[in-house]
Amino acid sequence: MRSQSSFKVLSLCLLAILASTHAQLQLGFYAKSCPKAEQIILNFVHEHIHNAPSLAAALIRMHFHDCFVRGCDGSVLLNSTTNQAEKNAPPNLTVRGFDFIDRIKSLVEAECPGVVSCADILTLAARDSIVATGGPFWKVPTGRRDGVISNLVEARDSIPAPNHNFTTLQTLFANQGLDLKDLVLLSGAHTIGVSHCSSLSNRLFNFTGKGDQDPSLDSEYAANLKRFKCKNINDNTTKIEMDPGSRNTFDLGYYRQVIKRRGLFESDAALLTNSVTKSQVTQLLEGSLENFYAEFATSMEEMGRIKVKTGTEGEIRKHCALVNS
């Protein structure tokens, strides 16, 4: 009996600890400590995003890459004097929007010094920019703290890449507590934005090292890409729409491309190589845009909670690119 009672007490203690950890991430976390914070971020996004709507795709990508390395802790924003930070890793060399986040941070710091984390600013700005350009809304509970470690190797090994197959994608998502449905839904962010020819040059020109083309890519689409966009394997600068014709519209167009075998990346094509993810793509296309928005929102909320630092963990950076001295 005594051991049973001890077990119950221990279980209750563990539940209390878990509850307190999650309680620190909450909607309106800054309501008392910096009540204008979220409005300052929203106002800045609204003021500038329409001059550069492509930043919406850039910011949600930055948020995604941040969360997949040490959790959503703003570590992707950190600089390194030896070029060994996350932003120096191959997956992050084309990430942009750092200055946008820095400018928001300076405004928030002027209002409430040392209160609002860069991790929360990035998370909110990513959401607000998607909404401001006509995309879905999702809830962003706040209270994240900023990490103090940013490592190139961890970013290289943790962030899903355009050339990853299904097994690798499944593993990398599972490592973050995300499932196959999250993989399909978060891939849906490819409905906006652009990529570079370097991300699919091997698919077009040298898939198995023999000067061949990826057979899983629609041949007519591949021919058009080679003729009008990526004309040789060494093209690292030409940009290509991930969802041709609606790169600034958050819609179901990406999934239409995928099902026609016209997803740009091997990672897009990989969604058709598994019966579960293929079925989910089909179901999304059979459903409404509102349904996609609702499901996408759920996955974004889940991603935004990955391994967050709360309470006394980490710090509140004064400058997003630098740890506090």
**Three-state secondary structure call for residue 174:** helix
C-alpha R_g of the chain: 21
Q: Say if residue 298 carries a ligand binding annotation.
A: no
- The answer on whether 251 is annotated among ligand-binding residues is yes
Q: Crossing angle for the helix pair 55-67 and 118-132, nearest 10 degrees?
A: 140
Q: Is 73 annotated as a binding residue?
A: yes
Burial of 241 per CB tally in 10 Å (0-12, 13-18, 19+): middle
Distance in angstroms (rounded) separating the CA atoms of residues 243 and 9: 54
Q: Give Cβ neighbours of residue 115 (< 8 Å, ≥ 6 apart).
A: 30, 33, 34, 37, 108, 316
Which of 48, 50, 65, 319 is catalytic? The answer is: 65
CA triple 24-80-118, angle to 5 deg: 25
| 237 belongs to an annotated ligand binding site | no
135 labelled binding-site residue? no
Any catalytic annotation for residue 65? Answer: yes
Q: Is 20 annotated as contributing to ligand binding?
A: no
> Known binder of ligand: residue 160?
yes
* Amino acid, single-letter form, for residue 52: A
**Residue 190 assigned ligand-binding role:** yes
Q: How far is CA 42 from the centre of its chain?
A: 19
Q: From the annotation, which residues make up the binding site for Ca(2+)?
A: 66, 69, 71, 73, 75, 86, 191, 243, 251
Q: From the annotation, which residues make up the binding site?
A: 66, 69, 71, 73, 75, 86, 160, 190-191, 243, 251
Q: From the annotation, which residues make up the binding site for heme b?
A: 190
Q: From the annotation, which residues make up the binding site for substrate?
A: 160
| Catalytic residue list | 65
